Structure 1
Amino acid sequence: MLKITKITIAFLLIAALGGCGKKAKTPETDNPAPSETPQESVQPTITPEATPASDNKDGEGDIMMEVPDLTSLDSITLIVNKQRPLGEDYEPADLVKPDVPLAKSSVTLRQEAADAMKVMFDAAKDDGISLMIGSGYRSYDYQKNLYNNYVARDGEEEANRYSAKPGQSEHQTGLAADLSGTNSSCYLKGCFKDTDEGIWLKENAWKYGFILRYPEGKEEITGYIFEPWHYRYFGKEEAQKIYESGLTVEEYYNLQD
């Protein structure tokens, strides 16, 4: 009786150990390791830096372009606005009197802008359009007096819409000019856009390197009201790019705050 009991116990122990060994393999078959996860369920990670700008078709903002010199004082693409002012001592070294009709003899521009203005005025004349420069380069002090007079007349808030504070005027670069017809029709007025001269400039100025700097409906972007008489020289190549983009200078060069 005792012998049978030992055999029985031994058999039961062997059976129990064998059963435990089989159960130890169960986790490997019921729960596959991560490396065995079906490939289609793994989502690849792509960082923005790895995405070429040319592959982004959702918008034009990411398209790579060569940006010209917007900060050097001698650059014809120097940007001046309310956020990017000039110092009070700055004056271009190459100011000359343009060989075109002038509202006053003191009008000057930088040499390259003056030469381009001459070419543009001659082209306009061939089309029966007679142009005149009303204002060109302005010094820091001149702009200061002008701005203060406007503030005294209309208040600072209103003056800031149409007049630049000293240092913030494009006229100080010697690359900007206020234009009109030789008859001064609608000079410095919104109605200039409907004159033959205003229409011709809007359609043709870019061909000679000049851009309508403060377009209609863009005051919140440029900081100034529509000025159909104010043209800024950027050079032919850059002016064409800006004109064809349909954007303001601030938008084109991504200079918005």
Structure 2
Amino acid sequence: MSSRSRSPVFVCAVVVAAALGLVGCAPVTAPIRSSSATPEAADTPTPTPTPTPSGFDKTALPIDDPASIWVVVNKVRPLEPSTYVPADLITTPVPHLNPPGLRSEAASAMAAMFATAKAEGAGGMQLQSASRSYGVQVKVYNGYVSSVGEDGADAQSARPGYSEHQTGLAADISAVPLTCALAACFGQTPQGLWLAANAYRFGFLLRYPADKTAITGYMYEPWHFRYIGVPLATEMHATGVTTLEEFFGLPPAPDYAP
């Protein structure tokens, strides 16, 4: 996992792996309608909507529909229904450690990204974790709670019904051979560095940057990439906006509602 042999991330990996047979650990409020610990709320910056550049339409796809590739899911924007299941999950044709289901569009983009990374010298990659159902997320989240408590769990794992993995658009990526899996040091591996610089070319966003915990509500996860499509990913890369919350002018989501 990382050199921090007793860190919460390592401990949760053991608990979750034992409970689910998974390798590693995966890291209410206005619902989404179907058509590092977090800082104190008082210190939370408020995102401001970025101006719409000429030619890019921020309203082209909905951000509230769980079936939309632009859906924004966070601690104040749960999925509705909470047990949502994507209709077009397929097996992603890439090396994997756990079930590699992703939505069809995301799976194709992931396969192309892995092939290009290897061709460009970044080394091999594999899917550590992909789509997870509501029921699986219950087990994952409870595993974190058992090992690091609710506050620790909330910093690194979504509660059931609030997880991007449930959309079929999010993937945790690790290196081949396995090194720095689900740990901050993955960001400094050849694979992690390549992904941070190039994932947008294939429609993926590094969803939880190191400097945006107060916005996203999650610790730095250089392994967690969310498919949003090439147009949006390219626009965010070009404008330097690194979170969906800031791009769409949404409130920060550092904590769940009491």
Q: 1:75 maps to which residue?
A: 68
Give ranges in structure 2 of 5+ residues lacking alignment. Answer: 1-47, 253-258
Give ranges in structure 1 of 5+ residues lacking alignment. Answer: 1-59
In 2, Cα distance between equivalents of 1:226 and 1:161: 10
Q: 2:231 maps to which residue?
A: 237
Larger of the two Rg values belongs to structure = 1
| RMSD of aligned residue pairs (Cα, Å) | 1.4
Look up the equivalent residue of 1:91 and give its one-letter code: V
**What is the TM-score of this pair, normalised by structure 2?**
0.73
1:63 equivalenced with 2:57 (yes/no): no
CA deviations over 1:8-46 (Å, ceiling 9, x no partner): xxxxxxxxxxxxxxxxxxxxxxxxxxxxxxxxxxxxxxx
1:210 equivalenced with 2:204 (yes/no): yes
1:109 equivalenced with 2:90 (yes/no): no
Moved over 4 A (4+): none
Look up the equivalent residue of 2:154 and give its one-letter code: N
Q: 1:143 maps to which residue?
A: 137
The alpha carbon displacement at 1:230 in A equals: 0.2
Sequence identity percentage: 45
Which is helix-richer, 1 or 2?
1
Structure-to-structure mapping, 1:1-257, within 5 angstroms:
61=49, 63-64=51-52, 66-67=57-58, 68-86=61-79, 87-104=81-98, 106-128=99-121, 129-247=123-241, 248-257=243-252
Question: Residues 49 and 248 of structure 2 are in contact (CA less than 8 Å); yes or no, is this contact kept in structure 1?
Answer: no
Task: Tell which has more relative contact order, 1 or 2 (C-alpha 8 A, sep 6+).
Answer: 2
In 2, Cα distance between equivalents of 1:155 and 1:135: 22
Q: Which moved more, 1:151-160 or 1:109-118?
A: 151-160
Q: 2:24 maps to which residue?
A: none
The alpha carbon displacement at 1:61 in A equals: 4.3
In 2, Cα distance between equivalents of 1:114 and 1:142: 20
In 2, Cα distance between equivalents of 1:61 and 1:254: 4
